[in-house]
Structures are given as C-alpha cells and as structure tokens.
Structure 1
C-alpha cells in the first residue's frame, strides 16, 4: 500500500492509505516529511505552500510568478512563502490561480518574486542515479514535531511507476533519508535540475515523484517556463 504525501495542518495525523491506482483525494486526507537526511542552510528556490493560512506542502518557485507543487496539495484558499529555509519565514505571496496535470500543480502568484528559480529537467534521471529530495517535515515516523528548517536527503532511482493521479513518476529508495508526512510537492533533483515532484510514499523507504519531464510541455504551455 502507498500513502499520498500532503499535510493539511501541522497537527494532522490521519493519512489516506491508497492502492497503486488511487482515486483523487482532498489535501486534508493526506500527508509527508523527510525522515533522516540533513538540514539545508540555503535554498532560494524553495517554496512553502499554505492552505487556509496553514502550512500544507513544499514546492519550488520556477519563475517570478510561478510555484510548482503537487496537485493533491490544492485547496480553495492558498498562499506561499518563498526564499527562506525557515518554516514560516520568507517572502509571502497570494495564489491567484491554480492549474493541474497528473499529480503536478502550478500556482500563479499575485506578486512577482525575484530570486533564484528552480531549473527544470527535460528528461528523467537514469535508474541507479543518486538524487536529492527536499522538504519540511518531522524527523521520525511518529512523536516528532515538524522540522523548522528545510531538510534534504539522498535517494536512489529504482525505476518508474505512476503518481497519485496516474501520471508518470520516478520511483526511488532511501539512501540516507526518505520522504514521509510533509514533503508533498517538494522537489527531487538530478545533476542540479528538478526531475520530480513528491507524490506518494510507502512510509519506510520508497517514494514516487511525479515526472517533470513527462509534464514539461504542459508546464511550458501554462507558465511559459
């Protein structure tokens, strides 16, 4: 069984356990966080995604007015904070519109943000590659508070599968950390390029990230990036 990775509120405990071909769910049903790994001192492209004023997911700012995150993170009232690794800090911006394909989502911002943007890959990483994942979250499986600082971990690509909405996804396994309860929408990088967006995980070692390359033409058509 796999679990979708979004966090509706910082105190949320319930998650929705789903089968390999899940039906769409609401953000309030689902959660993720990096277990293990280490903290990050600088990540100007990082984005904190908020629903109804509360932190819910991770993401990346890919252009002055665009944030990339997961579709299952979407809610009617959204905002972001960008450019700071400390949870609750950074430049705030409202979300004026949302767009989705598979388990990827684009958030249109009401304010232009000047920072270093996340570069996007046009091809998937090879099987066997060591990639980096990023997100805010708890440091253990239960009984821990979410990390107040952005975390990163190394994972190894083991193959390809489907994301939470049936799109192509990169499957990876833990090297020194793994995604769980709080990282939804967070990035996976290979050779400095964002290759994935956190979608689902099994809670112990395996995570599936929606493929940026498979959705690259859609991202370009919506955002111009």
Structure 2
C-alpha cells in the first residue's frame, strides 16, 4: 500500500479549520447579520483578516499538495500580509477590551498569551520558507495557537444544538460548563496532538517545531487556568 503524500495531512487539516471557522462564526456571516459586532469596525476588520487567513491556509496547503509551488510562493506574500493584519487587529481588540488580568476568563488569558506565539511562528515561517519541514509546521502551529475563538464558538452549533434537546433532563448548567471545558481544551489540544502523530508517522520523531509548539501551548493552558 502506498504512503500518502506528506502534504495530505496539511491539506485535510487546513480545510477542516476553514470549515470550522465558518461554522463557528455562521451567526455573523449568515444567521444574525444584524448583531452589534457586525457593525463594529474593529470586529469587521478582524473578522475579515481571520477569514482570509483560513482561506489562504487551505489554498496554500492544497497548492503544495498539487505541486503548484510557483503560485504557492506568490500567494505567500499575501498570506504574510494577512498574518500581519490578524496580529494587529487582534492586538487592537485586546487593548480596547483590556480589563486587567485578574478579571479575564482563563480562555481569554490564553488567547492573549498565544498571540505573540502566532506572530513569531509566522515570522519564522517567512524567514525559513526555503525549509519546507520547518515552514509548514510553523504555519500550522501558529494557526493552532489562534484557534481559541473558533473552538469557543463551535461548541454551540456542534454540541449544544443536539445534545441539549437530546439529554434535556441531564443537561444542567454545571454539566454544560464541564462539557464545554472538555470540548474546548480537548478539541484544541487535539490539533496539536494530530501534528505530533503526523511527525511520528512521517519522520519517526517529533519535529522541534511541533515539540516547542505543544510545550508552549501546555504552559499557556496551565498559566491561564491557574494564575
């Protein structure tokens, strides 16, 4: 049996991330377009940059899979510019909404700590674009760092929409809170684990980028939950 190409994992995961991001923000995009955040410039700009990032991520991964490397390199410039937009727009929202570390929920703390990691990963990926093994892992680890808002908002359409009506007698507020935390951290950590398993299968060891990214994510979770 032939081995799948090394680009298959990144192609599949990138498309999955794009689909999840669209579903997570489907209310903004389709079902509740009149909500206040849709008329707030800072959220509009941030949302457009975020969507553009996931679209480009899926496009770039599939261009590599189909060996269209020249177009991949050209679009890389656009992806880098979009990444700057994601970073700056997210930072602006953090500054505007800042209410002190002690007043933030753990998931919000995690998002703040992971933003510099995203920016650093993209910067290093640009500098190491000639080394594909480092480049692609840096891009995906950086993207995984920014998944907080997606996994937060995907819980309702993917879990609550069917679980609450189906288990209405069991689904108390406490159960919902526990289920949310398990889903949030479990699904988020699952993306890091998937890259870990990919490394084991493809190269027989854990790549330094994967190891560093998983370690930083674990530390951020601990700090954000217990500080």
Q: TM-score, normalised by structure 1?
A: 0.25
Q: Which has the higher contact order (CA 8 A, sep 6+)?
A: 1
Q: TM-score, normalised by structure 2?
A: 0.24
